[in-house]
Amino acid sequence: PASTTPLAHGDLAVAGVPLTEVAERFGTPAYLLDEGDVRARCRAYLRAFKDADVLYAAKAFLCRAMAHWVAEEGLGLDVCSAGELELAVTTGFPADRIVLHGNAKSPEDLRAALRLGVGRIVIDSASEIARLAAAVPPGSRQKVMVRVVPGIAAGGHAKIRTGTDDQKFGLSLTDGSAQHAIARILGQPTLELVGLHCHLGSQITTEKPYLCAVRRLVGLMARIKEQHGVTLPELDLGGGHGIAYRPGEDALDIASLARKVRAELTESCAAAGLPVPRLLVEPGRAIAGPAGVALYRVLAVKRTSGRTFVAVDGGMSDNPRPALYGVRYAPRLVGRPATADPEPVTVVGRHCEAGDVLADDVRLPGDVRPGDLLAVPVAGAYHLSMASGYNLVGRPPVIAVADGHARLLVRRESLEDFRGRDVGL
Ligand code: LLP
């Protein structure tokens, strides 16, 4: 995770920057992103997945700096809206290293993708084929992949499992809709089918489902060759690599995953008489998650019905994940030495509903009080990218920390921002 160092007086530094200093300078709540950690994770992926394309999944978190770091490190990008795409390309991200996803791509999404020249568009439904084929200017060809649902159950929570048939993403292998779609795509002169894609789900902590996906997709590639005489050159296994949110939790070992996937791919292709396709992976959480730290100020402490509620100045508007997926975090008191033993507390947000809980049943020093700072590690993925404007509480700023320096990347959302959009009476 982000390189934290304990300092004197109970303070904590991330990448050499004391958190008390960040709170002082930028206010709270605030999100820190350890640039060195993001870059190190990108490099670790490239080292592990040699001879593969690693695409950062922008949905985990995107801002211009993030796009810039990822591009500089040599990764590609997975986007799923014209917004993510435009932000990346206008930051200088090479469009040909970008893949566009989406189960319901809008006309604007497709127009932006074609205008900016994205490398691949991933077809997610049968109805998209004709729509996309017609949007490509005659005489040119758009490289596409097909998102296949391989019928594999994997992922940390029911809401983020996408490998089984009964859901909105992709085309099923089991009922033959993937095979039908592929036949239709191959008949479109403006589309060039370059490969198969699948994304099994998110927060997956074992390698097995990926190996199973390799076998099933190589099996489909073999059938495509048999039926259509076409050898597809690419195989995209999506993302979903799980991380530890609390000390002691399981995370997927990326180097081991890469080795096993490579071995399985080589073996399955040899058995099917196919050349080994180029591999693509799309990690989001595993790159951004551990590099982020959320910083809150305690506003109220309430002891009632045998429970201690510690209320902070953020909540479900900047981190909806505990409410959505029951995820557990390990907040830490920072900025002063603890003078009491740890006690079980519930860290709650400031929003007007009882479900606004950030961390249930965690241990904090028994003397935790208003004015204290709490840091929540592993906050870099799917917090701010899923943040809302609930209760008109502005979204927190994003601060890059590197080599002892902090710099503002994204400023705090202000009442002026809300007012600016509110144009009618
Ligand atoms: N590729 C595709 C096509 C995806 O749909 C996703 C995530 C990824 C890659 C990246 O997955 P990752 O490596 O980050 O697990 N909001 C949820 C996670 C939703 C993931 C959606 N798709 C959460 O907070 O856990």
The domain ranges of the chain are 4-33+289-421, 35-288
State the architecture of 35-288 in CATH terms. Alpha-Beta Barrel (3.20)
* Residue 162 Cα: closest atom of ligand 1: 5
For 156-165, 352-361, 397-406, which range has the lowest pLDDT when averaged over its residues? 156-165
User: Cβ(62)–Cβ(83) under 8 Å?
Assistant: no
* Residue 60 Cα: closest atom of ligand 1: 14
Q: How confident is the model at residue 2 (pLDDT cuts 50, 70, 90)?
A: confident
Q: What is the pLDDT of residues 76-100, one digit of tens each?
A: 999 999 999 999 999 999 999 999 9
Report the C-alpha gap between 91 and 314 in whole angstroms. 29
Instruction: Say how far residue 287 (Cα) sits from the centre of its chain.
Output: 8
Its pTM stands at 0.97
pLDDT score for 9: 83
DSSP reduced 3-state for 265: helix
Which of 146, 245, 285 to mutate to test ligand 1, by most ligand atoms within 8 A of the CB atom?
285
DSSP for 78-120, please give it.
EE-SHHHHHHHHHTT--GGGEEE--SS--HHHHHHHHHHT-SE
Report the C-alpha gap between 312 and 332 in whole angstroms. 13
H/E stretch holding 385 reads: none
User: Cβ(152)–Cβ(216) under 8 Å?
Assistant: yes
Q: What is the pLDDT of residues 158-176, one digit of tens each?
A: 888 898 988 899 999 999 9
User: Cβ(385)–Cβ(288) under 8 Å?
Assistant: no
Q: Is 329 annotated as a binding residue?
A: no
- Hey, what are 82's tokens? 């014209």
Report the C-alpha gap between 334 and 8 in whole angstroms. 10
* Residue 147 Cα: closest atom of ligand 1: 3
Is the pLDDT score of 62 beyond 80? yes
Nearest-CA neighbor of 57 among 287, 388, 386?
Answer: 287
Mean pLDDT computed over 267-279:
98
ipTM score over 0.90, yes or no:
yes
- Take atom 24 of ligand 1 and give the residue whose Cα is closest: 382
Give the single-character DSSP code of 378: S
Q: How confident is the model at residue 249 (pLDDT cuts 50, 70, 90)?
A: very high
- Take atom 20 of ligand 1 and give the residue whose Cα is closest: 202
Q: How confident is the model at residue 117 (pLDDT cuts 50, 70, 90)?
A: very high
Q: CA geometry: angle at 339 spanning 334 and 344, to 5°?
A: 75
CA distances from 361 to 244, 281, 346, 347, 348 (A): 18, 36, 5, 8, 11
User: Cβ(41)–Cβ(35) under 8 Å?
Assistant: no
Assign domain 4-33+289-421 to its CATH superfamily.
Lyase, Ornithine Decarboxylase; Chain A, domain 1 (2.40.37.10)
Q: Is 56 annotated as a binding residue?
A: no
Q: Compute, in angstroms, the gap from residue 60 CA to the centroid of ligand 1.
A: 7
pLDDT score for 358: 98
DSSP reduced 3-state for 393: coil
Nearest-CA neighbor of 310 among 343, 339, 274?
Answer: 343
